[in-house]
Structure 1
């Protein structure tokens, strides 16, 4: 480890998130040098062996080997911070003070707290703790496919920007082969669309079923965005959205959501 200037490795399979965390760390911890960025767990381990960074920021879910397995191979050689969409994976470990975690999308205030704790540990020349038992527990949770927290926003690339779309701004979701189209409106009422790689089923499992209802095998709507519904032939219907020209289909299997028709 560099005794005079701390160094870090960032491992995440999403390049925009790697870039975002790099920029945020530059503001929160100017003296920290990002010496390596890895696209998956295997690269993270290899880059750790090459650069021996002081701190490793590891995404929990990565292709190949997970961030937890990468942490196991890195061991006590570096201070570890998990970056995850699922905070329950690291709550116990964090509560015991053994490691820290950041929830995506990373909040600047939360990152500042993490940086403060890391600085304190490095300033006191504390050795990275032995977290083998905690990693066992985290890995067990991963294998059980713990249910993620309800979605609060979706991340989508719009042009060259990574856009954070609040769930309440979404009008509807529609599957498009291997992708899902998100249709939303911003605070000014301007409509937008973007494709993300998550499946419609995966997203539906994480959305609040009070408002988001599947109306077709390829369509989920936010009922707050529905203007009216008209009945069609063969026990189908058509949904009209507030402020949008699109008409969305309701198939026979989902017509029960509008049983008063």
Structure 2
């Protein structure tokens, strides 16, 4: 009997809720209490209050709002020595990459929904019972997007920052030597994938292989012009006419078939 009780205690999720808005805090607590294995060990409305409560209650799960009135949820987490598992919550998905970098178990967008809270708890249970590895970036993007293909949101790199771009924002991908770049309206950013990987990842009816080094977003193509040697050039809406991509002779035939 004692062994069974100890085993159950190990599996208990001791949750501390850090959320400055009282209605949102009540809502998430209600959703968590629907699970018999969840015990609410405390509530906090500020970052410093959360740090003090964590030290006192030793939770194994934090449901942590990123935007707090004093310090951010990320600063709360970085101040801790022995970190509990964390489910970040926020009204803004722009914080997703920071959440990934500190190995969040999941990332909830407000307003909270019972279904998403249930899904996040399943992941916490798996982490507690089997030391499941942290959420990877593709999973994170898929969860933020509501379960669709991760290709609808792609991570682009601007020096030390990561920019989440939707597929519809990208005019084309181009390989230059060992590097690959995505062309957006006002800039181009690095992609840490090969062109072949991108071709497999992106929607094939949207992103077309124009030549050996370029994938073109057909949704953003404004004009297609015949070119020398049976080739085409394509020009884009919202980009200067001088910025055009050549379609190889072989791919020009394929493009003609697609358009017809």
TM-score by length of 2: 0.49
Which structure's CA Rg is the greater one?
2
TM-score by length of 1: 0.49
